[in-house]
Amino acid sequence: MSTKPNVLLISTDHWPAALFGAAGHPAIQTPTLDELCRSGVRFSNAYAECPVCIPARRTLMTGTTPRTHGDRVFKDKLTMPAIPTMAQTFRDAGYQAYAVGKLHVYPQRDRIGFDDVILDEEGRVQYGVLDDYELFLGDQGYAGRHFDHGMGNNEYVNRPWHLPEETHATNWATSQMARIVKRRDPSRPAFWFISYRHPHPPIVPLQTYLDLYRDIPIDEPYHGSWSASSEDLSLSLQANTARGVKLTPHQTIAARRAFYALCTHIDHQLRVLLGTLREEGELDNTIICFTSDHGDMLGNHSMWAKRLFYEYSANIPMILLGVAGDERVGYSRVDDRLVGWADVMPTLLDLAGVDIPETVEGISMVSEQRRDWFYGEVGEDNHATRMIHAGRYKLIYYPVGNCRQLFDLQNDPDELTDLSASAEHADILTNLTDLLISQLYGGDEAWAENGQLIGLPDRDFVPGPNRGLSSQRGSHWPQPPRTNMPQIQWHSEGKDK
């Protein structure tokens, strides 16, 4: 029997760090994750280096930043860089390595070092791959009915799941990973990666979980003074807030309720997976990490989804448990050091006693080393944005219009007041701006001149048509043609002017 620890890495998509009961949220129901927080450590200042799916997952699986792995946009046909992945590193150390759920790599069947991947790619047929979740639905007699609910993959219209409970993607991923745990080779340690697709839209929770929230008051979005008028916002923010004007206050609360329902569903399904580990006698010898690629604004500041560096988009969950009795992790702790997805790989390898590849740029979260600041980046077009987070203060920069925002997260955790024009904070703004300029590369250097940010000319956003309903999927039986369908991003619903 193996004496080395197993590793279970749990990822979700679109889950803000604030959505835990343990984090003080007034409505969300997360009893399982709250118990994990009490049994390990919750990192309260965990951030996405690039808060969008594909770049974030490249960071997770390589331990490198976008500058190294090559994507800070959403390059859906970019192959993984020729450096060791987390899965391959564990395998090289004698581990069996299996993944279930959303991998989001190209080609889709690239295992990136895993022994096998049981894939759920949310119906992305343009790459010529039929994923394992759709095969499962076909086996159950529901071939091609994946999107009969009519909800889009990048919108907040919502309704209950339309098929039996056991066919929901959350249940499917859990049952697949539980089966893998049961079928493990007992003579070797295991690295398991379960990547839930939700609470990423389409927002289609089980009716059971909508009912659970029937008598729980749903918190309303908050709004900063700086976001009161969309006309005063930068181009990128104008484009984002254009989504929110489509939703009435009632629809906004309904979207948040349904989103919370998806989160609680995942929380409860984790009980099945953890229970399987316990009954197999592996729970105490398993390192566990729960995290998410990025969050979702959920209407805060009248914004939705990701690609932003405000807290609900960029601040991500990070819960870590060591094997039973591992004092490097401890329990019932909250750690406020600045961490990111590049740190997950070296942390798990460190806890498992596996050598960390020299290519890794992240820092083990159980080491004594701490960073003084954290750099974030997303986009290379007119919607690009950058961030410097220095622990208490956060600088957000939009090159179009040369717009800077400064927030004091200690006194203003909801980022209600922009301090960039405050004389009292001028030195802090200058210091963080200098740090940001020092990190610019790949064409971003043109945004600065003589040590000062000059950005790009300002422009307004003019909403346009959304004929694709934000990447709406259709009937998948018979299977759609394998064409190179365009990847519609949210800001393509309008145009720059």
**Residues near 267 by beta carbon (within 8 Å), at least 6 away in sequence:** 29, 30, 31, 32, 33
- State residue 497's pLDDT score: 36
Look at residue 128 in the predicted model and tell me its pLDDT: 82
What value does the mean pLDDT take over residues 117-124? Answer: 93
What rounded mean pLDDT belongs to the chain?
94
In this prediction, residues 440-458 reach a mean pLDDT of: 97
pLDDT at 327 over 70: yes
What is the pairing mode between strands 318-321 and 41-47?
Answer: antiparallel
With residue 496 as reference, give the H or E element that holds it. Answer: strand 494-496
For 409, counting Cβ atoms within 10 Å of its Cβ (0-12 exposed, 13-18 middle, 19+ buried), the class is middle
Distance CA 269, CA 262 (A): 11
* Averaged pLDDT, 107-134: 93
Convert the pLDDT of each residue in 199-257 to its tens digit.
Answer: 999 999 999 999 999 999 999 999 999 998 888 899 989 999 988 888 999 999 999 99
Decide if pLDDT at 488 tops 60: no
Query: What is the mean pLDDT of the segment spanning 318-331?
Result: 96
pLDDT score, position 142: 97
pLDDT band at 3 (very low <50, low <70, confident <90, very high): confident
Query: What does DSSP say about strands 116-119 and 286-292: parallel, antiparallel, or unpaired?
Result: unpaired
Question: Which domains are assigned to the chain?
Answer: 6-372+463-496 (3.40.720.10), 383-458 (3.30.1120.10)
| Confidence (pLDDT) at 483 | 60
pLDDT digits (tens, 9 = 90+) for 52-68: 999 999 999 999 999 99
For residue 357, whether the previous peptide bond is cis, meaning omega lies within 30 degrees of 0, is no
> What are 141-155's pLDDT values in tens digits?
999 999 999 999 999
208-222, 280-294, 476-490: least confident range: 476-490
**pLDDT value of residue 496:** 36
**In which band, very low, low, confident or very high, does the pLDDT at 495 lie, cut at 50, 70 and 90?**
very low
Split at pLDDT 50, 70, 90, the class of 172 is: very high
Q: What is the pLDDT of residue 491?
A: 46
Cα separations in angstroms, 445 against 106, 298, 380, 384, 387:
30, 33, 12, 13, 15
Per the CB < 8 A criterion, the answer to whether 445 and 473 are in contact is: no
pLDDT at position 81 over 70: yes
Window from 8-17, 25-34, 329-338, 472-481 with minimum mean pLDDT: 472-481
Beta strands in 172-314 (DSSP E): 190-199, 286-292
Angle between helices 31-39 and 249-279 (to 10 degrees): 50
363: three-class secondary structure by DSSP: coil
pLDDT tens digits, 356-382: 999 999 999 999 999 999 999 999 999
Q: What is the CA radius of gyration of the chain?
A: 22
Element (H, E) at 41: strand 41-47
Lowest average pLDDT, out of 79-88, 451-460, 478-487, goes to 478-487
**In Å, what is the CA distance from 429 to each residue of 150, 155, 310, 395, 435?**
46, 35, 17, 7, 10
Tokens 């957000």 found at: 396
pLDDT of residue 485: 56
In the chain, the percentage of residues whose pLDDT exceeds 70 is 97
Residue 491 and residue 463 in contact, taking contact as beta carbons nearer than 8 Å: no
| CA 441 – CA 116 distance, rounded (Å) | 36
Task: Fill in the amino acid letter for 496.
Answer: D
Average pLDDT over residues 344-352: 98
Give 466's pLDDT tier (boundaries 50, 70, 90).
confident
Which tokens go with 12?
């979700």
Strands (E), 316-455: 318-321, 333-340, 374-378, 385-389, 393-398, 403-408, 448-449, 452-453
Gap between the Cα atoms of 114 and 262, Å rounded = 28
CA dihedral (33, 35, 36, 41) positive or negative: positive
DSSP three-state, residue 193 = strand
pLDDT at 489: 47
* Three-state secondary-structure class, residue 490: helix
With CA atoms as reference, report the closest residue to 219 among 299, 113, 331, 108: 299
List phi, psi (to 5°) of 361: -105, -15
Closest by CA position to 488, among listed 474, 471, 463: 471
* pLDDT-based confidence at residue 493 (cuts at 50, 70, 90): very low
Q: Which residues contact 377 (CB under 8 A, 6 or more apart)?
A: 49, 50, 66, 72, 384, 385, 386, 387, 439
Annotate 452-488 with b (16+ C-beta within 10 A) or e (fewer): ebebeeeeebeeeebeebbbbbeebeeeeeeeeeeeb
Are 383 and 236 spatial neighbours (Cβ–Cβ below 8 Å)? yes
